[in-house]
Amino acid sequence: MKKWISYGLLLVGIPLVLLLGATVFSTKQYAWLAMAVMVLTCVPFFLSFEGRQHGATRLVVIAVLAALSVVGRLLFAPLPGAKPVTAMVVITALYFGGEAGFMTGALTAVLSNFQFGQGPWTPFQMFAWGLIGLVAGLLAKPLKRSRVALCVYGALSGVLYSLLMDIWSVLWYDGGFNLSRYLATVLTSAPFMAIYAVSNVVFLLVLEKPIGSKLDRIKTKYGI
């Protein structure tokens, strides 16, 4: 049943929203439409997560990791551009799978925006971070094996995150996609993009080992 709702949303809901956008609300509503599409894209993941019974440990650990990445974002807030969120999401995905990565990313976006300000950009951040986690989960094997691959993934996800959020800003300001405005936005946010990419790599390199060993230690200590 839930599976059908997910497929229905993806296959019918999104085209329907786009069609509505193209016909009824002729111009300038792209920001809204993009937001609706983002929300609809996130819903199937939530439904599939809800559909299975998870053990208490898994639920609590994912909740704690999401809270940790929110607190990490808060702790690093005085240092502009440096956000440990991506690293936390990727590490969660490596050890608990892509779905847990998606949940951590999406939860972090919602929860940290209670502090940094909720708005129509929240679904975009949910989607961006969730997707970073999901893909990291799918690539868990090669990413765990080689640190180089992990660094490349961190840098790439920083760049893609920035590019995606720039699309959002342009849609939001212009009401439509304006290429020259997009290029200007990308250019002005280039320093941030660089900081994202570099800080993701740094965070991943610094945090991956300690968190991994701590998870292992917990596993031995409590016999999970």
Q: Please say which residue, 72 or 137, places its beta carbon nearer to another protein.
A: 72
Residue 53 three-state SS:
coil
What is each CA distance from 133 to 6, 66, 153, 207, in whole angstroms?
19, 12, 11, 16
What is each CA distance from 20 to 8, 26, 132, 173, in whole angstroms?
17, 9, 29, 21
Contact status, residue 90 vs residue 205, Cβ threshold 8 Å: no
Q: Counting contacts by CB under 8 A, is residue 117 touching another protein?
A: yes
Q: Which of residues 138-177 bind another protein (CB under 8 A)?
A: 172-175
Exposure pattern of 57-68 as b/e (b: 16+ CB <10 Å)?
eeeebbeebbeb
Q: How far apart are CA 203 and CA 198, in angstroms?
A: 9
Contacts with another protein, 60-99, as mask; x by CB under 8 A: xxxxx-xxx-xxx-xxx-xx--x-x---------------
Q: Counting contacts by CB under 8 A, is residue 205 touching another protein?
A: no
Q: Counting contacts by CB under 8 A, is residue 189 touching another protein?
A: no
Q: Please say which residue, 67 or 160, places its beta carbon nearer to another protein.
A: 67
Q: Please say which residue, 121 or 153, places its beta carbon nearer to another protein.
A: 121
Give me the residues that bind another protein (CB under 8 A), please: 25, 28-29, 31-32, 46-47, 49-50, 53-57, 59-64, 66-68, 70-72, 74-76, 78-79, 82, 84, 103, 107, 110-111, 114, 117-120, 172-175, 178, 180-181, 184, 206-207, 210-211, 214-215, 217-218, 221-222, 224
